[in-house]
């Protein structure tokens, strides 16, 4: 018996360690880390472009970005908690921690609530309450307006609800200045008009998932052709919006050139989607849209 216990002991310890590691990774998955990374990046750009950013202590700068990351992650966890029923019906999301049964709904809700409260309070105490208020409102808009109301009720869900994802540059700016001015509003509009073609490209090749879950995404309600036309229209509107920083004298001519090239190619990808009867062009447009936003905001910082 003693020998048997000795042999099984390390195995049990290893199993417990693996289980704990898996549970941590599941809670981390609730934060939607890929979405969070783009939120933090656009928030950093807003922070970096704000007047006086170089005078902010590096520790406070890191705190602001950490609060933004935690707040965005908490909103993602709220989203997964509320959408666990429809996530279980879609191939793209059925393996998430909640529909797969690896995390209890009450645990996910508590996790999201604690992180959300912590991020807002820390932002307010460490930086300022304008930034904290914007962070709180962005989280409320994403959870209560988009997730709980719009997502399941209107094909314009991503158009209106996409505003929640456009707040990070404003939050980053406000963390430095304590206010909001023209420049961060333009950054808000860039993300706002970028979101529909970005997300509708995804919805084109995930259409069966949305039909199965009865989510009224535009391709499901209005049809594929109408969705493709809307995607093209938004890319056309987006081009002059992205050039606004240059026209208002807020960004360099080099930025204007980069934004023009990136925007024209985005329009080209939308035209390809419109002409393509398959889904290959939609997948390529979705991938490019992520690169596009990253490159556009990087150009604002570097040029």
Which CATH number characterizes residue 96's domain?
A: 1.10.357.140
Global pTM exceeds 0.95: no
258-303: per-residue pLDDT in tens? 999 999 999 999 999 999 887 789 999 999 999 999 999 999 999 8
Residues 189 and 282 in one domain: yes
Query: Which region, left, alpha or beta, applies to residue 223 given φ > 0 means left and ψ of -120 to 50 means alpha?
Result: left
Q: Give the number of domains in the chain.
A: 2
Instruction: Answer yes or no: are the C-beta atoms of 90 and 135 closer than 8 Å.
Output: no
Residues 53 and 169 in one domain: yes
126 pLDDT band, cuts 50/70/90, is very high
Q: How far apart are CA 32 and CA 220, in angstroms?
A: 25
Residues 83 and 199 in one domain: no
Is 125 contained in some domain?
A: yes
Tokens of 180: 């909001």
17 pLDDT band, cuts 50/70/90, is very low
Q: How far apart are CA 238 and CA 267, in angstroms?
A: 9
Residues 139 and 199 in one domain: no
Residues 209 and 252 in one domain: yes
Tokens of 136: 């709180």
Is 11 contained in some domain?
A: no
Residues 39 and 142 in one domain: yes
223-256: per-residue pLDDT in tens? 899 999 999 999 999 999 999 999 999 999 999 9
Considering 136, 157, 180, which residue would you say is the last residue of a domain? 180
Residues 148 and 282 in one domain: no
Residues 97 and 119 in one domain: yes
Return phi, psi of residue 103, to 5°. Answer: -135, 135
Report the pLDDT value the prediction gives residue 35, as an integer from 0 to 100.
84
Q: How far apart are CA 25 and CA 2, in angstroms?
A: 35
Residues 138 and 249 in one domain: no
Q: What is the mean pLDDT of the chain?
A: 89
Report the pLDDT value the prediction gives residue 14, as an integer from 0 to 100.
40
User: Tokens 């969705």 map to which residue?
Assistant: 227
147-175: per-residue pLDDT in tens? 998 888 888 888 888 888 899 999 999 99
Q: How far apart are CA 92 and CA 248, in angstroms?
A: 42
Instruction: Quote the domain boundaries for residue 214.
Output: 182-303
Contacts of 263 (CB under 8 A, 6+ apart): 235, 238, 239, 242, 243
Report the pLDDT value the prediction gives residue 18, as an integer from 0 to 100.
44
């Amino acid at each position: 018996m003693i020998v048997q216990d000795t042999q099984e002991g390390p195995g049990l310890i290893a199993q417990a360690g693996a289980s704990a590691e898996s549970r941590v990774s599941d809670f981390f998955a609730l934060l939607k880390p890929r979405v969070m990374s783009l939120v933090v990046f656009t928030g950093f750009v807003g922070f970096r472009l704000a007047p006086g950013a170089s005078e902010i202590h590096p520790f406070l700068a890191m705190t602001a970005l950490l609060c933004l990351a935690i707040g965005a992650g908490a909103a993602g966890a709220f989203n997964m908690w509320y959408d666990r029923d429809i996530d279980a019906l879609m191939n793209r999301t059925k393996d998430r921690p909640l529909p797969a049964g690896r995390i209890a709904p009450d645990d996910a809700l508590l996790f999201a609530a604690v992180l959300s409260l912590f991020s807002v309070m820390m932002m307010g105490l460490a930086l300022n309450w304008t930034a904290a208020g914007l962070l709180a409102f962005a989280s409320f808009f994403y959870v209560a307006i988009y997730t709980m109301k719009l997502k399941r009720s209107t094909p314009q869900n991503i158009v209106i609800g996409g505003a929640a994802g456009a707040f990070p540059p404003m939050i980053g700016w406000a963390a430095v200045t304590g206010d909001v001015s023209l420049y961060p509003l333009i950054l808000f509009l860039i993300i706002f008009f970028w979101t529909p073609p970005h997300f509708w490209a995804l919805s084109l090749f995930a259409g069966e998932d949305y039909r199965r879950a009865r989510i009224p995404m535009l391709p499901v309600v209005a049809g594929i052709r109408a969705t493709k036309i809307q995607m093209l229209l938004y890319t056309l509107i987006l081009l002059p919006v992205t050039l606004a920083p240059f026209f208002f004298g807020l960004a360099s001519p080099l930025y204007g050139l980069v934004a023009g090239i990136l925007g024209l190619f985005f329009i080209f990808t939308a035209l390809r989607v419109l002409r393509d009867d398959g889904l290959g062009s939609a997948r390529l447009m979705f991938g490019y849209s992520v690169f596009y936003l990253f490159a556009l905001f990087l150009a604002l910082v570097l040029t």
